[in-house]
Structure 1
């Protein structure tokens, strides 16, 4: 890996190495490699990417900050170039099954701070009787017939690393509406790569199916588990996919 000091210059180009890295990074910001508004990779990853030291990366970011092309807050650096906002993949609706019910359906979602179902606690690695953030979602037809219900439990990792989720602890009394549709966006912006495993099975002796979604990050740490019951009939199906982190 190349090394530099604040006064190092690239021997062949006659300009500071950090200036060349700033130019290359700006090019990647403009071509959409890092979408506008998204968090940039950390200094260590940028240093590896450009094969320079972290100090050089730090100086390059400072150049872009002075030019108003990058903004930095306590969560990291963000591209501030104008461009099309980042869109979430349709498949990442939260909770699983939300937004796919019939026209006129009524959705309701709340959050509580409580002990999760035992199978959820085990999947999330929570100690017995330890409370966590639990999200409940229900969609009903205009005549009141339940179309689908979902219960989601979040892990300690998710609440610790995803600031937007952590904020719900103080108001998780089960009374106020809590639409967490952007949950997966928040996780990605926190630097988490999301790996989903959705298992779909028919409920015994019932005209409905159960969908169990488990989500973990790039370190195999559990983030959430959701159990969804849908009024339908389908064969068993299991599929997996991975969504890279925003940074």
Structure 2
């Protein structure tokens, strides 16, 4: 009996019933449906084979065969960093890049801006939010933005989780030089996370501080698996600055 391989099934068959087809083919159909629903944006990296195997309840070999079905039909592209979604992206799907830390940077760069990173124990509330043991060090980013006269001052302290450092190469590279003194710009941190295959979910809590003109913003970011990635504590002197958060959502249909 001839052995059935992924190459025997054209892309068109993925849009039809998959009953009776090999398991890897059914997994390919399910994964394609998720990709078309935007689970992983075009150009972004898929989760690894092990994670996909856990999600679909199959072996890594089955996942490998399913990926080959999609790869052969041009729906995935693979390089040394892994498999990337190659579905066409509509203009409405193109996400705007978010500059890290969101809300801390003024509309225009200021001469008083300063950013550093340190490898140290984060604030206790950050450690708890990130699931870190007390006193366990991690990458901590500090950002200050202020005009020469000090008006409109913004300060942000951000801590990254073990998950973020394990899966985002660009962040992990900072560990060796995170001495808290040298300038360190992480403006593209969210782009790096997305390129690593992480979908980002932001939740901001905004509180007006009593008897002051300041506003506190606590931002928590987790991925599509509900794993914490980052927490930021932002203080804004709101006497002259406005807090602006801009989100773009594609229209339905």
Q: Calculate the TM-score normalised by the size of structure 1.
A: 0.68
Greater fraction strand: 1
- Summarize the Cα distance change of 1:57–1:136 in structure 2 as closer, same or farther, 3 Å threshold: same
Match of 1:105 in 2: 110
Q: How many residues align?
A: 215
**Cα deviation 1:106-128 (Å, max 9, x = unaligned):** 32211000111111112212111
- The CA distance in 2 between the partners of 1:36 and 1:196, in whole Å, is 20
Q: List gaps (5 residues or longer) in structure 2.
A: 16-27, 57-61
Match of 1:119 in 2: 125
Match of 2:45 in 1: 39
Match of 2:205 in 1: 199
Does 2:11 align with 1:20?
A: yes
SS in structure 1 at match of 2:69: helix
User: How does 1:2-151 map onto structure 2 within 5 Å?
Assistant: 7=4, 16-17=8-9, 19-20=10-11, 37-40=43-46, 44=52, 54=63, 56-61=65-70, 63=72, 70-73=77-80, 75-78=81-84, 88-89=95-96, 92-99=98-105, 101=106, 103=108, 105-106=110-111, 107-145=113-151, 147-151=153-157
Q: Calculate the TM-score normalised by the size of structure 2.
A: 0.67
Residue 6 of structure 1 and its aligned partner are, at CA, apart by: 5.7
- Kept in 2, the 8 Å contact 1:71–1:80? The answer is no
Residue 216 of structure 1 and its aligned partner are, at CA, apart by: 1.8
- The CA distance in 2 between the partners of 1:127 and 1:55, in whole Å, is 36
